[in-house]
């Protein structure tokens, strides 16, 4: 979602601000802007659409100044047009905002009654007026900000620049991330460490309610109550190279191909191959006493939760509830003491998932989080952090984070079973063996990239596509449909294959391709029967299976995609590859913006 960068520097900052925005493009946005403080003026430049619009605007109307802020906006309140683009400004103050000010209407009414006029439809503009009003009344910037922040309800990360104080910026965070970067004679604000990667590796992560004043050589951080606080400065480890495409055409493609490596990297933290044991990070609660698991997540991470439910129930015989984070709190879930609440998130910042985590903490649940960004809010707030080691995921469509989540969840479910006395050493060794096979099987699946690219033209013209799977492959059908929808804009649905005849089969005709995920194994015959019901009605099937499955059932299919023969435990990891590649190649064939699909944001930090 919205990206923020701010620099208090020693020379003109506009070019570096735009560079910072470029590094945050992956977050998703629909307009962009910058504002510098220079020579007693605030110089604001904004443009709708991609960054090239802002670059052209700056070429025509350069903005000098060694202090400035910049923003990529993902529209929430008000259309993605220039007047709604950030920064919002008065003569005295300009600011950029990530999040939502929930009480903006009442604040706007108050400000209007005070004679102030608004030029945008955004919730953000009230903040700039509230601060500006106090400054116009003679307050110093810090006093004005200290007075206004407690009046804001909702979520925000803010970066604020002041006309009459061109050597400082103020940043604030509540609910949306913001980091402080420490440079050589320069200081920075950013939505994440990656945004600041070429500028500095020295990062302090603001905590909830913190706000900060930065000058060229200092950062003064205060908490919600205005007390000065210290936040550790850490080496971020983020490098500019992490957000480069290398030889790939798209980040999504690069990230699909990274999966064998990052899954192996993730498994290294959860398995002890020599001893054939599953090994989790130090757990300071008794996992064997957990009698119920609640898993909460959104989107692709939710589909990882669906797969995990099969594993937890099958191995550890523990009942599992799963829920979309956006629904979870509002259905008043019954959470009994002694339950484990598990949150799955690539970013660790998804607003709904984070709110659900906090709700579960209030309800006395033990909190575990499977998270890819180790410095994220969820990572910091969990009792048990189970990191995925996928590295930065830049493509908006999640790929490598998903397979790494599955790797962690498979290990966790086995560990759970061992602790409950439901998995003996021999069975544990089997699980370890199969998980260790996953990277090689992912590589073998990737070998079919060219075949999949060659058949993308069969899917690209379709208006609707169905995906079918059974058991732990059913969530993969949902994931395949989500991938196709989000990057190729083709309407797609995933169904449990046995559900077809209960309604969706009415959709079948020869214009609706049906992608069937059917690894040979215990559920193969049943899935193939459902596939044949589709074919009997003129449905055009793409069968994704192994050589044995294809030999048995591939004959009348429009196309087949061959996967290596895999153990059912790792089938969801391996079968993720063909659905990702299929969506990718269809999107490329259609010429859509693969890495930044329309309307989508990478990290959804508003509810
Ligand atoms: C789909 C996708 C989204 C995310 C969802 C949750 O490709 O990327 O559906 O999975 O927004 O995000 P995280 O995992 O960051 O909580």
Please state, rounded to an integer, the average pLDDT across all residues of the chain.
94
Residue bearing the CA closest to ligand 1, atom 11:
299
What lines the ligand 1 site, CB under 6 Å?
298-301, 345-347, 350, 353, 397-398, 482, 486, 603-604
Q: Could you say which of 2, 35, 298, 441 is catalytic?
A: 2
Of 226, 153, 156, 157, the C-alpha closest to 195 is: 157
Q: How far apart are the first and last CA of the chain?
A: 12
Q: Is residue 227 part of a domain?
A: yes
360 shares its domain with 406:
yes
C-alpha distances out from residue 322 to 263, 310, 513, Å: 24, 11, 30
Task: Provide the pLDDT for residue 280.
Answer: 86
What average pLDDT does this structure show over 418-434? 96
Six-digit token pair at 462? 């379709």
54 shares its domain with 199:
yes
Q: Is residue 226 part of a domain?
A: yes
Model confidence at 607: pLDDT above 80: no
The per-residue pLDDT for range 24-50, each reduced to its tens digit, is 887 778 899 999 999 999 999 999 999
Q: Is 540 a catalytic residue?
A: no
Q: What are the residues whose beta carbons fall under 8 Å from the beta carbon of 114, sequence distance 6 or more?
A: 133
Task: Provide the pLDDT for residue 234.
Answer: 92
| CA dist., res. 138 & res. 155, Å (int) | 28
Residue 404 parent element (H or E): helix 400-419
The per-residue pLDDT for range 380-401, each reduced to its tens digit, is 999 999 999 999 998 999 999 9
Six-digit token pair at 519? 């690894």
Domain's final residue, options 427, 446, 465: 446
Q: Is residue 606 part of a domain?
A: no
Q: Is 602 a catalytic residue?
A: yes
Could you tell me the distance, in angstroms and rounded to a whole number, from the CA of residue 11 to the centre of ligand 1?
38
The per-residue pLDDT for range 69-102, each reduced to its tens digit, is 999 998 888 888 999 999 999 999 999 999 889 9
The tally of domains found in the chain comes to 3
**Ligand 1 pocket test target in 343, 392, 398 with most atoms within 8 Å of CB:** 398
Residue 322 parent element (H or E): strand 320-324
Give the single-character DSSP code of 243. Answer: G
Contacts made by residues 419-426, CB under 8 angstroms, sequence distance 24+? 419/287, 419/288, 420/288, 420/316, 420/317, 420/318, 421/288, 422/315, 422/316, 422/317, 423/315, 425/276
224 shares its domain with 253:
no
Q: Is residue 506 part of a domain?
A: yes
Task: Provide the pLDDT for residue 382.
Answer: 94
| CA dist., res. 86 & res. 121, Å (int) | 12
What average pLDDT does this structure show over 577-603? 91
237 shares its domain with 294:
no
44 shares its domain with 137:
yes
Whichever domain contains 506, its CATH number is 3.40.50.10490
Task: Provide the pLDDT for residue 214.
Answer: 98
Could you tell me the distance, in angstroms and rounded to a whole number, from the CA of residue 475 to the centre of ligand 1?
14
Q: What are the residues whose beta carbons fall under 8 Å from the beta carbon of 502, sequence distance 6 or more?
A: none
Ligand 1: which atom is nearest the Cα of residue 299? 9
Ligand 1: which atom is nearest the Cα of residue 603? 15
335 shares its domain with 456:
no
Residue bearing the CA closest to ligand 1, atom 9:
299
Task: Provide the pLDDT for residue 600.
Answer: 81
275 shares its domain with 148:
no
Task: Provide the pLDDT for residue 24.
Answer: 86
Give the single-character DSSP code of 495. Answer: E
**Could you tell me the residue range of the domain that residue 400 belongs to?**
247-446
Q: Which segments of 325-381 are extended strands (E)?
A: 340-345, 366-371
Q: Is residue 146 part of a domain?
A: yes
207 shares its domain with 327:
no
**Ligand 1 pocket test target in 74, 298, 580 with most atoms within 8 Å of CB:** 298
Model confidence at 606: pLDDT above 80: no
**Ligand 1 pocket test target in 295, 297, 301 with most atoms within 8 Å of CB:** 301
The per-residue pLDDT for range 206-251, each reduced to its tens digit, is 999 999 999 999 999 999 888 999 999 999 877 776 777 889 999 9
Q: Is residue 605 part of a domain?
A: no
222 shares its domain with 253:
no
Residue bearing the CA closest to ligand 1, atom 3:
299
Task: Provide the pLDDT for residue 330.
Answer: 85
Could you tell me the distance, in angstroms and rounded to a whole number, from the CA of residue 508 to the centre of ligand 1?
29
Six-digit token pair at 237? 């480890």
Of 166, 236, 165, the C-alpha closest to 9 is: 166
Residue bearing the CA closest to ligand 1, atom 5:
299
Asked if 297 and 344 count as a contact pair (C-beta separation under 8 A), the reply is yes
| CA dist., res. 88 & res. 101, Å (int) | 14
Alpha helix segments (H runs only) across 80-214: 104-113, 125-136, 141-148
Asked if 372 and 388 count as a contact pair (C-beta separation under 8 A), the reply is yes
Could you tell me the distance, in angstroms and rounded to a whole number, from the CA of residue 303 to the centre of ligand 1?
10
Q: Looking at the DSSP assignment, which residues form a beta bridge with residue 31?
A: 48, 73
Asked if 341 and 320 count as a contact pair (C-beta separation under 8 A), the reply is no
| CA dist., res. 131 & res. 143, Å (int) | 9
Ligand 1: which atom is nearest the Cα of residue 350? 16
The per-residue pLDDT for range 164-200, each reduced to its tens digit, is 999 999 999 998 889 999 999 999 999 988 889 889 9
Whichever domain contains 197, its CATH number is 3.60.20.10
Q: Is 83 helix (H, G, I), strand (E, B) or coil?
A: helix
Domain's final residue, options 188, 222, 242: 242
Q: Is residue 503 part of a domain?
A: yes
Could you tell me the distance, in angstroms and rounded to a whole number, from the CA of residue 249 to the centre of ligand 1?
22
174 shares its domain with 210:
yes
**Residue 421 zone, left/alpha/beta (φ > 0; ψ -120 to 50; rest):** left
93 shares its domain with 190:
yes
Could you tell me the distance, in angstroms and rounded to a whole number, from the CA of residue 352 to the centre of ligand 1?
11
Q: Is residue 547 part of a domain?
A: yes
The per-residue pLDDT for range 485-498, each reduced to its tens digit, is 999 999 999 999 99
Domain's final residue, options 446, 479, 507: 446
415 shares its domain with 460:
no
């Amino acid at each position: 979602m919205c990206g923020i960068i701010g620099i208090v520097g020693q020379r003109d900052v506009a070019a570096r601000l735009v560079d910072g925005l470029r590094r945050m493009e992956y977050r998703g946005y629909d307009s962009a802007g910058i504002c510098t403080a220079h020579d007693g003026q605030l110089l604001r430049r904004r443009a709708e659409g991609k960054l090239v619009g802002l670059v052209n605007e700056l070429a025509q109307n350069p903005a000098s100044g060694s202090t400035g802020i910049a923003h990529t906006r993902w529209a929430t309140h008000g259309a993605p047009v220039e007047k709604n683009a950030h920064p919002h400004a008065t003569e005295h103050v300009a600011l950029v905002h990530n999040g939502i000010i929930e009480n903006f209407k009442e604040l706007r009414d108050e400000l209007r009654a005070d004679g102030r006029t608004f030029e945008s439809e955004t919730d953000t503009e009230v903040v700039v007026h509230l601060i500006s009003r106090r400054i116009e009344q003679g307050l110093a910037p810090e006093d004005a900000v200290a007075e206004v922040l407690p009046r804001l309800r909702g979520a925000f990360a803010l970066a604020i620049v002041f006309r009459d104080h061109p050597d400082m910026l103020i940043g604030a965070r509540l609910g949306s991330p913001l980091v402080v970067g420490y440079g050589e004679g320069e200081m920075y604000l950013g939505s994440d460490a990656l945004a600041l990667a070429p500028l500095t590796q020295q990062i302090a992560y603001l905590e909830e309610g913190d706000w900060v004043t930065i000058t060229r050589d200092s950062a003064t951080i205060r908490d919600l109550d205005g007390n000065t606080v210290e936040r550790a400065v850490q080496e971020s480890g983020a490098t500019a190279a992490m957000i480069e495409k290398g030889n790939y055409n798209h980040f999504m493609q690069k990230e699909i191909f990274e999966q064998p490596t990052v899954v192996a990297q993730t498994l290294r933290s959860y398995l002890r191959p020599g001893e054939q044991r599953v090994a989790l990070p130090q757990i300071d609660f008794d996992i064997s006493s957990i009698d119920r698991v609640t898993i909460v997540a959104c989107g692709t991470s939710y589909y990882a939760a669906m797969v995990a439910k099969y594993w937890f129930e099958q191995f550890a015989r523990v009942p599992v509830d799963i829920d979309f984070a956006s629904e979870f709190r509002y259905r008043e879930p019954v959470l009994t003491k002694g339950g484990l609440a598990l949150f799955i998130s690539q970013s660790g910042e998804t607003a709904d998932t984070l709110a659900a985590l906090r709700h579960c903490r209030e309800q006395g649940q033990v909190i575990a989080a499977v998270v890819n960004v180790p410095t994220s809010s969820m990572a910091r707030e969990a009792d048990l952090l189970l990191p995925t080691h996928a590295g930065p995921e830049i493509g908006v469509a999640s790929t490598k984070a998903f397979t790494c989540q599955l790797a962690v969840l498979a290990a966790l479910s086995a560990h759970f079973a061992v602790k409950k006395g439901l998995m003996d050493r021999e069975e544990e060794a089997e699980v370890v063996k199969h998980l260790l096979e996953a990277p090689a099987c992912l590589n073998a699946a990737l070998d079919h990239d060219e075949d999949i690219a060659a058949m993308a033209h069969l899917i690209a013209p379709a208006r609707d596509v169905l995906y079918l799977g059974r058991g732990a492959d059913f969530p993969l059908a949902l994931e395949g449909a989500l991938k196709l929808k989000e990057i190729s804009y083709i309407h797609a649905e995933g169904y449990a294959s046995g559900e077809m005849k209960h309604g969706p089969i009415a959709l079948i005709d020869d214009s609706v391709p049906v992608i069937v995920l059917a690894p040979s194994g215990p559920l193969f015959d049943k899935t193939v029967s459902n596939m044949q019901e589709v074919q009997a009605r003129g449905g055009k099937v793409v069968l994704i299976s192994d050589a044995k499955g294809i030999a048995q059932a591939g004959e009348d299919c429009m196309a087949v995609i061959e996967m290596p023969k895999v153990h059912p435990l790792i089938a969801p990891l391996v079968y993720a590859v063909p659905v990702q590649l299929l969506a990718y190649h269809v999107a490329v064939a259609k010429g859509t913006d693969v890495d930044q699909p329309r309307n989508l944001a990478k990290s959804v930090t508003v509810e």
